[in-house]
């Protein structure tokens, strides 16, 4: 984002809980301190529940004495600060500092002394990360503010419906190629088809098979594009006529294949015989890409 020079155009950074980590928060604090970010961490929603707030095993529900720097859990077992610990994350290379608290060896009663030990007989310990706790509290304060709720709420209506429409209507639940460039190309063609379908619906262009339920999903959306081109007067060009004839031949080939295998949009399938294997992957999306290419060339 910084290389493209787009950070100066907005003030808020919004993302889902998958990006709410200590590493990402630290980068935002160091490099983009002038920006407000609405990014919840993984347990943000869970921490708001009544069950979490009443869970006796959570350190957030324990009593903490700031002057003496010790914790007391719900069983009245006292944990005193013992030492600092530093860890380095293997994936990000970030160094994190922890405060280690250990239960006292001798508690007020024998029962508490037994509770202060683990099953193996060692003293119980808790690991506290002050930096991560500070970043979580700041993110929580931003998300629970009036502007934070409004901005983060827009993400549910602006971003998520696109993925839901792509999965439920267009049937694309996963990519079929490997590599960043290949996946970007496949997703780009999918988004072009979605935009063309929306544009055709906006202009009230009905597909050729509007009243028929026997045609395939690929035929339905391809005919929607053809109807749009016909209404625009672009279907009479020679390139479009050639493209439509090629797609008709491709559909006849697919009609033979559909009798043997279960065909779904954007899925590759194989038909095995004793001597050869017929492979026809991505037929609808390839044909639609031809239409888009000839549309701009003509």
Q: What angle do CA 35, 38, 43 make, to 5 degrees?
A: 140
Q: Which residues contact 72 (CB under 8 A, 6 or more apart)?
A: 62, 63, 64, 65, 78, 79
116/232: higher pLDDT: 116
pLDDT in tens, 91-139: 888 999 999 999 988 888 888 888 899 988 899 999 999 999 999 999 9
Cβ–Cβ < 8 Å for 196, 291: no
pLDDT in tens, 20-51: 999 999 988 888 888 888 999 999 999 999 99
Residue 134 to residue 147: CA distance in whole angstroms: 21
Residue 59 to residue 102: CA distance in whole angstroms: 13
206/110: higher pLDDT: 110
Q: Which residues contact 18 (CB under 8 A, 6 or more apart)?
A: none
pTM of this structure: 0.59
Give me the pLDDT at residue 185, please: 86
Token digits of residue 202: 């906006």
Residue 194 to residue 191: CA distance in whole angstroms: 5
């Amino acid at each position: 984002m910084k290389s493209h020079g787009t950070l100066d155009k907005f003030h808020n950074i919004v993302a889902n809980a998958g990006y709410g980590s200590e590493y990402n928060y630290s980068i935002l604090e160091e490099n983009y301190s002038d920006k407000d970010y609405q990014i919840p961490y993984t347990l943000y929603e869970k921490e708001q529940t009544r069950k979490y707030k009443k869970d006796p095993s959570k350190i957030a529900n324990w009593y903490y004495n700031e002057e003496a720097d010790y914790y007391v859990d719900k069983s009245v077992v006292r944990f005193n600060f013992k030492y600092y610990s530093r860890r380095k994350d293997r994936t990000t290379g970030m160094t994190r500092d922890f405060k280690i608290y250990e239960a006292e060896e001798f508690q007020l009663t024998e029962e508490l002394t037994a509770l202060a030990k683990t099953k193996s007989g060692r003293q119980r310990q808790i690991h506290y990360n002050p930096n991560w706790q500070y970043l979580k509290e700041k993110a929580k304060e931003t998300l629970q503010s009036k502007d934070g709720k409004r901005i983060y709420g827009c993400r549910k209506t602006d971003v998520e419906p696109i993925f839901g429409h792509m999965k439920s209507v267009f049937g694309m639940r996963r990519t079929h190629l490997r590599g960043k460039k290949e996946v970007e190309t496949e997703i780009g063609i999918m988004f072009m088809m979605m935009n063309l379908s929306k544009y055709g619906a906006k202009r009230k262009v009905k597909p050729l098979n509007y009243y028929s339920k026997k045609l395939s999903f690929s035929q339905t959306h391809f005919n929607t594009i053809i109807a749009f081109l016909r209404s625009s007067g672009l279907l009479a060009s020679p390139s479009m006529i050639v493209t439509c004839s090629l797609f008709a031949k491709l559909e006849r080939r697919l009609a033979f294949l559909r009798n043997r295998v279960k065909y779904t949009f954007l899925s590759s399938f194989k038909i095995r015989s004793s001597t050869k294997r017929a492979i026809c992957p991505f037929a609808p999306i390839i044909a639609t890409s031809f239409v888009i290419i000839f549309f701009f060339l003509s």
